[in-house]
Structure 1
Amino acid sequence: MDYLKKLMPLEAAQKFVHRQYPNCQGALLAGSVVRGEATETSDLDIVVFDKYIQSSYRESFVEFGWAIEVFVHNLTSYKLYFEEDCLRARPSMPRMVSEGIVIKDDGIIGLVKCEADKLLEKGPEGWSLDTIKTKRYFLTDALDDFIGCSNRAEEMFIANTLAVLLSEFVLRTNCKWIGDSKWIVRSLKQFDEKYAEHFIEAFDCYYKNGGKNQIINLVDIALQPHGGRLFEGYSIGK
């Protein structure tokens, strides 16, 4: 077998699991190749369930022409990852399991998929009023820095911070899952395609020509239902 030859994703995943985890009870192929979003640099994300391992682990390989990320769990360790992902509102593991294509199944995958689907459908727990207040304060603080900054280099990184804080605020106050990196955009689109377009346009406008108004308006619109900008009177740990 020529391991530099790039096989089709599913074939590569099947051969890989057969080679590396022949005694596992289940395996799924997930990630961008399953969603039809693969690029030249995409890897294969494979979730493996093996009742004989003591604790979960992650490992990277290059086989069959692919970079492969493997997430190995026993038949209970995945539950902790489900819980932790839900607490941080970033459902990486539930999403991989839910969308994953079955590579191998000794009768366990259906139950695990059902657990993942229920968690994804339920969504994250809503923020408390205290949490919303704190998030308003930090979003306001970043916005004020952005408005007042006249140093282009510093301003760009403040804008980056604003993008993360604003996307989190909008999604979490609507009890939706959040994301990081490319999943910021994907999470916003899952929430509201039109809003995601406005969000992208606002930051694109800033990065292209320095215009701040669209970003400022987006932040103010997001804050308005929750009391608007917050600085005076905010206290923590007093």
Structure 2
Amino acid sequence: MGNIKKLEPIEAAKQFINERFPYCQGAILAGSVVRGEHTETSDLDIVIFDKNLNRSYRESLVGFDWAIEAFVHNLTSYKEYFKIDSDRARPSLARMVSEGIVLKDVGIIDSIKKEANEILIMGPELWSMETINTKRYFISDALADFKGSSNRAEDIFIANTLADLTSEFVLRSNGKWIGASKWIVRSLIEFDKDFTTRFVEAFDTFYKTGTKGQVIQLVEEVLQPYGGLLFEGFSLGKS
């Protein structure tokens, strides 16, 4: 049993579609396997388009030697998810559709891929100055906590907050898509590889040694073009 070779991802995905969605109008394989970045724990991300569905859904299952994440849509529901993802600046479904390998197509995939590509090229809605100032304030507040804390346990989680807020600020203030988890770094790399190296090194140094200087300097540099740290005079909800 231990010598049985695992099915190749495309073959496994095609078998899955043939068995579970034989009458669908289109299917796409996306995710790490398409980018050549898959590991032993990677799953198959498969987007399915089936005109007979009343509503979209997501399902996780195991089959054909793989863990599988199925994102199932009819021929209009995906548009709503494109919009939801765009509004939160994390174009998850659009990315999957854009980069995905076609598993099945009865003539619908080209137009859906075109929609996805147009969304990705357009980028998220630009932040207003009000939003930028609000984000500046919350980053400044977290940085003040970070500077003043002498509790290592608290430092770790303040640093986590700073990493999330700062990466979001850098990307959104420059009109770029953001990400979560591993997509934070991937989104930063797409924007600026040199900055990403500095960003990772600063937080890595803190987590390894407890030294805060690089993180503090980096965060202050990020805010500087927009007016720097913000506390005095900030208000939220004041009429």
TM over 0.5: yes
Q: Which runs of 5+ in 1 are unaligned?
A: none
The letter of the residue matching 1:124 is: P
Instruction: Supply the distance in 1 between the matched residues of 2:141 and 2:98 (Cα, whole angstroms).
Output: 38
Whole-angstrom distance in 2 between the partners of 1:192 and 1:154: 30
C-alpha deviation, 1:6, in angstroms: 2.3
Partner of residue 236, structure 1: 236
Equivalent residue, structure 1, for 2:203: 203
Measure, in 2, the Cα distance between the counterparts of 1:77 and 1:175: 26
Look up the SS of the partner of 1:23 in the other structure.
coil
Match of 1:113 in 2: 113
Q: With the length of structure 1 as denominator, give the TM-score of the two structures.
A: 0.97
- Write the distance in 1 (CA, Å) between the matches of 2:115 and 2:60: 26
The ranges of structure 1 where at least 4 consecutive aligned residues each deviate by more than 4 angstroms after the TM superposition are none
What does residue 103 of structure 1 align with?
103
Deviation at 1:153, TM superposition (A): 0.5
The secondary structure found in structure 2 opposite 1:102 is strand
Tell me, in whole angstroms, the C-alpha distance in 1 between the residues paired with 2:81 and 2:221. 34
Partner Cα separation in structure 2 for residue 84 and residue 222 of structure 1: 28
1:171 equivalent in structure 2: 171
Q: CA RMSD in A?
A: 0.8
Opposite residue 215 of structure 2, the aligned amino acid is I
Partner of 1:149: 149
The aligned residue for residue 71 of structure 1 is 71
Which position in structure 2 is the counterpart of 1:14? Answer: 14
C-alpha separation between the residues in 1 aligned to 2:179 and 2:186?
8
Q: Distance in 2 between matches of 1:78 and 1:28?
A: 13
CA distance in structure 2 between the partners assigned to 1:104 and 1:229 by the alignment: 52
For residues 232 and 7 of structure 2, the distance between their equivalents in structure 1, rounded to whole angstroms, comes to 60
Query: Secondary structure of the residue that 1:229 maps to in structure 2?
Result: coil
Residue correspondence of structure 1 range 132-143 to structure 2 within 5 A: 132-143=132-143
**Equivalent residue letter for 1:151:** N
Unaligned runs of 5+ in 2: none
Alpha-carbon displacement from aligned partner over 1:204-232 (angstroms, at most 9, x marks no partner): 00011111111111111110111100011
For the residue of structure 1 that corresponds to 2:70, the secondary structure is strand
Q: Measure, in 1, the Cα distance between the counterparts of 2:121 and 2:237.
A: 35
Q: Which residue of 1 aligns with 2:47?
A: 47
**Does structure 2 retain, via aligned residues, the 8 Å contact 1:146–1:158?**
yes
Q: Which residue of 2 aligns with 1:194?
A: 194
CA contact (8 A) 1:5 1:65 kept: no
Query: How many angstroms apart in 2 are the aligned matches of 1:35 and 1:198?
Result: 25
Alpha-carbon offset, residue 5 of structure 1: 5.8
Report the counterpart of residue 161 of structure 1 in structure 2. 161
Superposed displacement of residue 86, structure 1: 0.6
Number of residue pairs the alignment of both structures matches: 235
Query: Residues of 1 paired with 2:119 and 2:214: CA distance?
Result: 35
| Matched position secondary structure for 1:69 | strand
Give the superposition deviation at 1:125: 1.0
For normalisation by structure 2, the TM-score amounts to 0.97
CA distance in 1, matches of 2:187, 2:78: 23
1:126 maps to 126
Post-superposition shift, 1:61? 1.2
Other structure's SS at 2:211 match: coil
Cα distance in 1, alignment partners of residues 174 and 136 from structure 2: 14
Question: Following the alignment from structure 2 to structure 1, what is the Cα–Cα distance between the partners of residues 147 and 53?
Answer: 53
Could you tell which deviates more after superposition, 162-171 or 209-218?
209-218
Q: Deviations over 1:22-72 (max 9, x none)?
A: 000000000000011101100000000000000100011100110000000
| 2:85 aligned partner | 85
Q: Which residue of 1 aligns with 2:220?
A: 220
